[in-house]
Amino acid sequence: MLSRSGRPLAHVLFGPIARICVRAHISADTITITGTVAGVIASLTLLPFDHLTAGALTITALVIFDNLDGQIARLTGTSSLWGAFLDSTLDRISDAAIFCGLLIWAYRCADPRYQVWILVGGLAALVFGSVVPYARARAEGLGMTANVGLAERADRLVVVLVATFLVGVELGDWIMAGALWLLALSAFVTVIQRMVYVKKQAVASSRAGKDA
């Protein structure tokens, strides 16, 4: 939802920066790889050691600038299947690093009253969140679509980063527990939605084949 509605705004805000990168001969792949490496480092150094505010702000900045690679590719006419594959694959690594950083933080630093809730919710959010893009990719590999669901990547990132920031400014670890369980539930629902959506397409395709 947010990933689709936010694209026009991101194009306006970061179009000038993308053009500067083009003039500096910085490729889209370079931006993708650099952003992923920086995001993983920030997630696995700042978050586990209880620097949640700094981690949330740093990762948010990196996530926003992740939009640059697509704009650079379009400006230079270098959009490709490889670029799309690289971007999607590294996005999964970046997302996993965020949740792993938070799980380590929960084990080391979280309020004992909410620690188990955060650990279980975070693990569930990580697992179901990884299935969401897989379901879409698998559907597309079979010639169908699965671009539906309650919570896509941008939605999940907004929730987890806002929660991380709020916990970092000492508003309570219960916020993280609630956010992670919300993410786990929404990701689970999204997986079900995509399964139902693909099932309908598969049934319709099978019927069309029999009629032919």
> Looking at the annotation, which residues are catalytic?
91
Q: Are 28 and 70 in contact (CB under 8 A)?
A: yes
Side chain identity at residue 140, one-letter code = E
Q: Which two tokens stand for residue 67?
A: 């939009």
Cα distance between residue 153 and residue 95, in whole Å: 9
Number of other residues whose CB lies within 10 A of the CB of residue 60: 16
How many separate helices (H) and strands (E) can be counted in the chain? 9, 0
State the residue for tokens 């009253």: 113
Cα distance between residue 197 and residue 182, in whole Å: 22
